[in-house]
Amino acid sequence: LQSYLTLRERYDEALAVLDEAHSAADEEGKDAIAYQKVLVLLMAERLEDAFAHLRTAATALTADISDWGALALQYLRHNRLAEADSTLAEAAAWAEARINEGEVDDETAGEYRGYIADLRADLSIQQGNWEEAEAYYTVALEQDPLYKQNSHLFYMRLLQHGQPERALPYIQRDQQ
């Protein structure tokens, strides 16, 4: 029903359906419904409400690095670069606190640091700071092996921003 209402651009009704489902869901379901609500708010162009919901998720006691990433990515998608920058600083502080408190193992610490570095590379690309973007991506490569296996995610962003000469070395490395 919510999908139908959303497709028909009946966003308030779709949100009401999600609120009703949220009240009946278990904890895991509540998280999924909360994120679906954010997507409907974004489609309804109610950006401030969507950002508020994303921030609430990122700052909750049960937050994960992906919650911070979701907030930063939406700021980036909506060209709100200052907010993305400050969110990434908060995310880095949050991650380092978890790491320093021993809440995560070394592998997860690398994943956190790599993810934040990759998001910072994305921010740098949008700002036109190409060398900075490559430096952040290098950090991501060093921190998390996932980025070595998926370098196309970085060079495609460079290509999308009109930087084929900067993308070429990553493409060539990817083909080896």
Exposed (0-12), middle (13-18) or buried (19+): which is 173, by Cβ within 10 Å? exposed
pLDDT value at position 109?
97
In Å, how far are 90, 150, 159, 166 from 118, measured between CA atoms?
15, 12, 16, 16
Q: What is the pTM of this model?
A: 0.87
Tokens 């921030």, residue? 55
Band (32; pLDDT cuts 50, 70, 90): confident
Q: What is the pLDDT of residues 93-128, one digit of tens each?
A: 999 999 999 999 999 999 999 999 999 999 999 999
pLDDT value at position 176?
78
Q: What is the pLDDT of residues 57-99, one digit of tens each?
A: 999 888 899 999 999 999 999 999 999 999 999 999 999 999 9
Closest of 87, 65, 66 to residue 76, by C-alpha:
87
Closest of 123, 117, 14, 30 to residue 74, by C-alpha:
123
Percent over 70 (pLDDT), the chain: 100
